[in-house]
Amino acid sequence: MFVLFEETGKFLAGRILSEADTSLQVELDSGKRVKVKAANALLKFEKPAPAEFIAAGQRLVEEIDLDLAWEFASDEEFGFAELARDYFSADASKPASAEQQAAALFRLYDAPHYFRRAGKGRFKKAPPEILQQALAAIEKKKQITAQIASWAEELGQGQCPAPIREQLYKILFKPDKNSAEYKAVVDASRATHTAPLDLLQKAGAIASPYQFHWKRFLFENFPKGTRFAELQAPPVKDELPLADVRAFSIDDSSTTEIDDALSVQGMGSGTVTLGVHIAAPGLAVLPGSPIDAVGRARMSTVYMPGYKLTMLPDEIVQAYTLQEGRNCPALSLYITMDETTLDITSSVTRLEQVPIVSNLRHDALDNVFNEAFFEAAQLTSPVDVPWGVEMTFLHRLARHLKGQREIARGKPENFNRPDYNFKLDNPTGGEPQGDEAVSIGTRQRGAPLDLIVAEAMILANSTWGQWLAEHGVPGIYRSQASMAPGVKVRMGTKALPHAGLGVKSYAWSTSPLRRYTDLVNQWQIIAVTKHGRSAALVAPFKPKDADLFSVISCFDAAYSAYNGFQSGIERYWTLKYLQQNGITELTATSFKDNLVRADDLPLVLAALGAQGLPRGARVRIRLGAIDEITLDVAGTVIERLDTVAEASAEAQHSDAGEDAEDGEDEIAAGPISIAVDMDEAPADAEPAPAAAA
């Protein structure tokens, strides 16, 4: 005698060796002996053999029409033998054969949408409305499966279906793994043994490498688009006194968010006052307002060659920017010092209207106010050049402030690599398309005008940071515990030292139109300016305010993403520059593992033959193929251009000034995104001119 039984959702059959009230000893065809609960024994039969019996039952399954079976099945609970009798037997008094009963069992078991299980071998048919819903779902699933197969086949043939093209960035970077589009790409990738990105590229889903990088960035960071809602700039309601100064700003020509300006008073009197004047949107834009919500959503302006996404709408920016010819609401820091020794004697912060006399531009004045100019100015008074007297004093002050910071930080700041300016041939000034002609120029880090602005802003940010701490008002600080390798700059609410800059504390406060942290700190500084020692009670953010920590977390994430995109898209334009100018070889310097840095371009790449070279070794590189999607280019060392001794000297010189600010975190050639450590250099107040373009 044989028995058909259920074991962990499977149907097995074997010979009965012994039988008790609650269990059976059964021998399977494999010879294995098992103990089967009596409740699991569903059907006993004498022939045929178990394997043949199950096969016969499976063959009969196909003869059972589920719709027909459901129609005449009892509305009450029933067993599989009853259904087999009603379905197969013409005589209701005669039972169905054992094979027919097994077939009915298998069919019922595999059709839960028609019949739900009510016990071992017992079933109950589904209500009509539930059945129709289930059948509709099954039909939909079949259609989706067929659609997936069709899309996968098209992809394999080098064609991209429109729905997949529309979901490109979601599929690649934030996939819904249950979506048909994603499954089609996966199936096609497996079938063709091709990586998904390569598959989609070959299928024409990526029409433009530039648009791929740009739209990916927008998808990840601006899923709702980049347009602003209609907003009106609220007026400054405070009655502000008019400052008795002649202020001027120093920016690149394309800069529209003019946050900061400078003034100098008292030259020739023995006591000079430096004025650092910061645009004051914080006087009108209040925490929790619609404009604040926009700034908090974006956290910072996004810079890239030829274009930018501002943190605030242009009409808001223009209401508070320090435009020449206007008296602008400003938060002013006045630093009084001895004209000869430059020792600071006092500082005061004021809210006032500041006359902006001029918006000076780097690209127009870099060749005027250069090192040669200031060397000559030490011998003769530069009265013939507008702003020459003020610039000469400010340059002397900047060098003095830099020297003091270098003493505090323990070693000098050496700017061995230039900043690079990217300029696109894009007369309309609109969003680049990626095929514009690009030129790359250089501007030496620490150039006189840069130095003047940078040192003034570092002085303001460190002074205001200490001032907030003295009044018990929290701010958003950037700190660095030491300049040891691997010690990064952190953001927090405590006034801690910034070893890399050589200051006791550092709170970004000088770019409130471009960085949300600066706007937050401006609100706090305004509170101290108005309320003094009681400011901690009325400032928008109180000590240990959870909302302040939330701002820091969100800003960190956004700022990192924006800087990463800027680095990646600058790399794109660098590769484009190589192609447009037919550059196949370049000189470079080894700096880590097999990585080299181009001497005259902002490009780091892996080079075959560079492994084992000393840091600072200068080599000639032959470039390989350029991949504009992965932003990858390989190189091969074809010539060594220096001696070992020269490379060693260069490495020591480089180590002295680069490690703390720049780190060694530049990734040479990675897939899609290129991560570059862009923490602040001493020119912390302004982005590089290329970024502002």
Structural domain containing residue 533: 247-550
Band of the pLDDT at 217, cuts 50, 70, 90? very high
pLDDT of residue 651: 55
Tell me, yes or no, whether 217 lies in a domain: no
Say whether 276 sits in a helix, a strand or coil: strand
**Residue 278 CB contacts under 8 Å (≥ 6 apart), including other chains:** 259, 260, 330, 331, 332, 333, 460, 509, 510, 512, 522
Query: Based on the domain organization, do 426 and 313 belong to the same domain?
Result: yes
pLDDT tens for each residue of 313-352:
999 999 999 999 999 999 999 999 999 999 999 999 999 9
- Phi and psi for 603 in degrees, rounded to 5? -140, 125
pLDDT tens for each residue of 386-405:
899 999 999 999 999 999 99
**Above 70 in pLDDT, residue 375?**
yes
Give mean pLDDT, residues 219-240.
92
- Residues of the chain with pLDDT > 90, as a percent, come to 69
Rounded Cα gap, residues 122 and 665, in angstroms: 66
Query: Based on the domain organization, do 280 and 298 belong to the same domain?
Result: yes
Q: Contact at 8 Å (CB) between 611 and 594?
A: yes
DSSP state for residue 242 in the 8-state scheme: B
pLDDT of residue 647: 57
Band of the pLDDT at 667, cuts 50, 70, 90? very low
Q: Contact at 8 Å (CB) between 608 and 598?
A: no
Rounded Cα gap, residues 339 and 324, in angstroms: 28
Query: Based on the domain organization, do 613 and 507 belong to the same domain?
Result: no
**Residue 608 CB contacts under 8 Å (≥ 6 apart), including other chains:** 594, 634, 635, 636, 637
Q: Contact at 8 Å (CB) between 495 and 445?
A: no
pLDDT of residue 652: 53
Query: Based on the domain organization, do 59 and 142 belong to the same domain?
Result: no
In which region does residue 3 sit, left (phi positive, over 0), alpha (psi from -120 to 50) or beta (all else)?
beta
Query: Based on the domain organization, do 169 and 50 belong to the same domain?
Result: no
Tell me, yes or no, whether 675 lies in a domain: yes
Query: Based on the domain organization, do 438 and 544 belong to the same domain?
Result: yes
Give mean pLDDT, residues 643-661.
50
pLDDT of residue 87: 87
**Above 80 in pLDDT, residue 686?**
no
**Residue finishing a domain among 73, 93, 126:** 126
pLDDT of residue 646: 61
Give mean pLDDT, residues 403-414.
89
DSSP state for residue 167 in the 8-state scheme: T
pLDDT of residue 514: 96
The pTM for the full model equals 0.79
Say whether 519 sits in a helix, a strand or coil: helix
Query: Based on the domain organization, do 402 and 354 belong to the same domain?
Result: yes
**Residue finishing a domain among 521, 550, 579:** 550
Q: Which two tokens stand for residue 229?
A: 């809602």
Tell me, yes or no, whether 426 lies in a domain: yes
Tell me, yes or no, whether 652 lies in a domain: yes
Q: Contact at 8 Å (CB) between 331 and 527?
A: no
pLDDT tens for each residue of 50-88:
999 999 999 999 899 998 999 888 889 999 999 999 888
Tell me, yes or no, whether 613 lies in a domain: yes
pLDDT of residue 649: 56
Query: Based on the domain organization, do 119 and 135 belong to the same domain?
Result: no
Average pLDDT for the chain: 88
Q: Contact at 8 Å (CB) between 635 and 596?
A: yes
Query: Based on the domain organization, do 194 and 269 belong to the same domain?
Result: no
pLDDT tens for each residue of 289-321:
999 999 999 999 999 999 999 999 999 999 999
**Above 50 in pLDDT, residue 678?**
no
Handedness of CA 361, 402, 375, 382 (dihedral sign): positive
pLDDT of residue 650: 55
**Above 70 in pLDDT, residue 214?**
yes
Rounded Cα gap, residues 119 and 110, in angstroms: 14
pLDDT of residue 588: 94
pLDDT tens for each residue of 587-624:
999 988 889 999 999 999 999 999 989 988 999 999 99
**Above 80 in pLDDT, residue 691?**
no
CA proximity to 217, closest of 278, 159, 302: 302
The beta strands (E) that lie in 553-668 are given as: 585-592, 595-598, 604-608, 618-627, 632-640
Rounded Cα gap, residues 16 and 42, in angstroms: 13
Name the domain count of the chain. Answer: 4
Whether cis (ω within 30° of 0) applies to the bond prior to 48 is: yes
pLDDT tens for each residue of 37-51:
998 999 999 999 999
Rg (CA), the chain: 37
Query: Based on the domain organization, do 358 and 491 belong to the same domain?
Result: yes
Tell me, yes or no, whether 483 lies in a domain: yes
A 10 A CB-CB count for 217 gives 22
**Residue finishing a domain among 102, 126, 150:** 126
For residues 377 and 575, which has the higher predicted lDDT (pLDDT)?
575
Q: Contact at 8 Å (CB) between 2 and 44?
A: yes
Query: Based on the domain organization, do 532 and 667 belong to the same domain?
Result: no
Residue type, 447: A
Rounded Cα gap, residues 527 and 532, in angstroms: 8
pLDDT of residue 383: 62
Tell me, yes or no, whether 295 lies in a domain: yes
DSSP string of 374-436, one letter each residue: HHHHTTS--TTSTTHHHHHHHHHHHHHHHHHHHHHHTS-----S-EEEEEE--TT-S---S-S
Q: Which two tokens stand for residue 635?
A: 């190189």
Q: Which two tokens stand for residue 3?
A: 């028995």
pLDDT tens for each residue of 552-581:
999 999 999 999 999 999 999 999 999 999
Query: Based on the domain organization, do 49 and 149 belong to the same domain?
Result: no
**Residue 630 CB contacts under 8 Å (≥ 6 apart), including other chains:** 197, 669, 670, 671, 672
pLDDT tens for each residue of 14-33:
999 999 989 999 999 899 99
pLDDT of residue 122: 92
For residues 393 and 675, which has the higher predicted lDDT (pLDDT)?
393
Rounded Cα gap, residues 171 and 326, in angstroms: 51
Weakest-pLDDT range from 71-85, 172-186, 408-422:
408-422
CA proximity to 508, closest of 500, 520, 496, 497: 520
**Residue 207 CB contacts under 8 Å (≥ 6 apart), including other chains:** none
Tell me, yes or no, whether 555 lies in a domain: no
Weakest-pLDDT range from 97-106, 599-608, 635-644:
635-644
pLDDT of residue 7: 86
pLDDT of residue 655: 44
Q: Contact at 8 Å (CB) between 24 and 41?
A: yes
